[in-house]
Amino acid sequence: MSPADRADNGPIGFSDDPLLLLHYTAFCNASCAHCIVESGPQRKGRMSLDLAGDLIEGAGGVPHLRTVVFSGGESFIYLDDVLQLCAQARAEGLVTRIISNGYWARTPEIAARMLERLGGEAVDQLVISFGEFHRAFIPAERVRNVFLGARQASAAPFVAYSTVIAGVRDDPTIDVGGYAWPTGVLRCLADYGFAAEECVPLAAAVARGATLAPDERTAFKKAMVHERALINYEPLAFGGRASRELRDRQRLRPIEQDAGTPCSVVGRQITAVTSGRLYPCCSVWTNFPNHALGVADSATDMPAMVDDMQMDALVRFIHERGPGPLIAQLRQAGVPLAGEYSDICHMCQTLFEHVSLDDLRQAAALAFNGANRRSPDEGGP
């Protein structure tokens, strides 16, 4: 990808194209109750730098894969490694994104200096995660400091803020500045010292950016980073630590209600965890080593690996029709699976807990046939 193409990677720098996600480390200075991947201080260790480098080199050869995301785990704990890998990714023509809880932003000035460092190196996007479940570990003002630092910084990556809100799907909304904000999101923003007027929903900014001409878009991007906080919000998902610590915050619904909900991200978020195991999404799936779809080694052929993953019957079925029909089919066949779920990731967790990868693939192939259609052999996630 040329530098011009890379800069135009989505209207404000967040495209829907497939990603390579690296859990470079699962080590984290927090143990948030909602953490799907169960990161924390006890998860010591990191991916080998060589393996991460090989994966990035391979990602550069995958058509339509334009972004490398450093997730985990708290990537800033190994910032020097991650910045080295970002430089390599940029040289491969890829956009780079780091997700962090913002613990390092002790003052707005420190945050500004860090943003300038990131902007001056090879970091295109920074996503700061925050919210109710972070606050026990990361002081709220650190997140606000990132925002204040971005106003001061002479150079910065595109910064967005991402939170998880329990019950957000059922919240009433309030209009502020032309944006309909769920009340739970407004409460969270207030807890972090953000006025709703200075915030813009990330989805709205992406949509607005898409309507602009390229020269207007550059000014819009700058304004978004220096003057507004771009907010992404998602519902609390069931899985990992949340399935133990936040059980009472989940509203279970009969499977029939979500049975036909497909998963838009599976096969598009190619995820490598620290061991090198490969998964088709960055969520609950990554907690199940026996359900990995491959193991990367130094000779990993990424284009073929991504192709295989996207053509996998199970991945394609979940992408097209969601995990719900598989649960229904297995229940009919007598497999004792629950009948109520909070969301589709919860369904996947249940499937992976009770059914082997081979059996799930077989069930997916059967379900495709059962719908009187052969497993499609073109396209994919």
Residues in contact with ligand SF4 by CB under 6 A are: 28, 30-32, 35, 39-40, 72-74, 101, 129, 134, 263, 265-266, 281, 283-285, 318, 323, 344-345, 348
Contact 20, 68 (CB under 8 A): yes
Nearer to ligand SF4, 137 or 220 (CB): 137
Contact 297, 329 (CB under 8 A): no
Q: Which residues pair with 25 in a beta bridge?
A: 46, 72
In the complex, minimum distance from the CB of residue 46 to ligand SF4, in angstroms, rounded to a whole number: 14
3-state secondary structure at position 241: coil
Nearer to ligand SF4, 330 or 344 (CB): 344
Q: What angle do CA 87, 89, 95 make, to 5 degrees?
A: 105
Within 8 A by CB and 6+ apart from 309, the residues are 267, 270, 278, 280, 293, 294, 315
**Using CA atoms, how far apart are residues 146 and 62, in angstroms rounded to an integer?**
33
In the complex, minimum distance from the CB of residue 70 to ligand SF4, in angstroms, rounded to a whole number: 11
Nearer to ligand SF4, 20 or 318 (CB): 318
Q: In what order do the strands lie in the sheet with 229-235?
A: 199-201, 229-235, 158-165, 125-130, 95-100, 67-72, 19-25, 269-272, 277-279, 294-295
* Residue 341: its H or E element: strand 340-341
In the complex, minimum distance from the CB of residue 236 to ligand SF4, in angstroms, rounded to a whole number: 12
Nearer to ligand SF4, 196 or 348 (CB): 348
Tokens of 368: 């495709």
In the complex, minimum distance from the CB of residue 101 to ligand SF4, in angstroms, rounded to a whole number: 4
- Where b means 16+ CB within 10 Å and e means fewer, 226-235 reads eebbbbbbeb
Locus of tokens 């502020």: 176
In the complex, minimum distance from the CB of residue 29 to ligand SF4, in angstroms, rounded to a whole number: 7
In the complex, minimum distance from the CB of residue 122 to ligand SF4, in angstroms, rounded to a whole number: 22
Nearer to ligand SF4, 88 or 101 (CB): 101
**Using CA atoms, how far apart are residues 91 and 53, in angstroms rounded to an integer?**
12
In the complex, minimum distance from the CB of residue 52 to ligand SF4, in angstroms, rounded to a whole number: 17
Q: Which residues pair with 53 in a beta bridge?
A: none
In the complex, minimum distance from the CB of residue 105 to ligand SF4, in angstroms, rounded to a whole number: 14
In the complex, minimum distance from the CB of residue 140 to ligand SF4, in angstroms, rounded to a whole number: 14
Nearer to ligand SF4, 31 or 183 (CB): 31
Nearer to ligand SF4, 88 or 100 (CB): 100
Nearer to ligand SF4, 131 or 209 (CB): 131
Nearer to ligand SF4, 88 or 232 (CB): 232
Nearer to ligand SF4, 41 or 339 (CB): 41
Tokens of 316: 């394609």
Contact 196, 177 (CB under 8 A): yes
> Following CA atoms 30, 36, 39, 43 in sequence, which dihedral angle do they give, to the nearest 10 degrees?
150
Contact 161, 128 (CB under 8 A): yes
Instruction: Please count the other Cβ atoms lying within 10 Å of the Cβ belonging to residue 293.
Output: 19
In the complex, minimum distance from the CB of residue 4 to ligand SF4, in angstroms, rounded to a whole number: 32
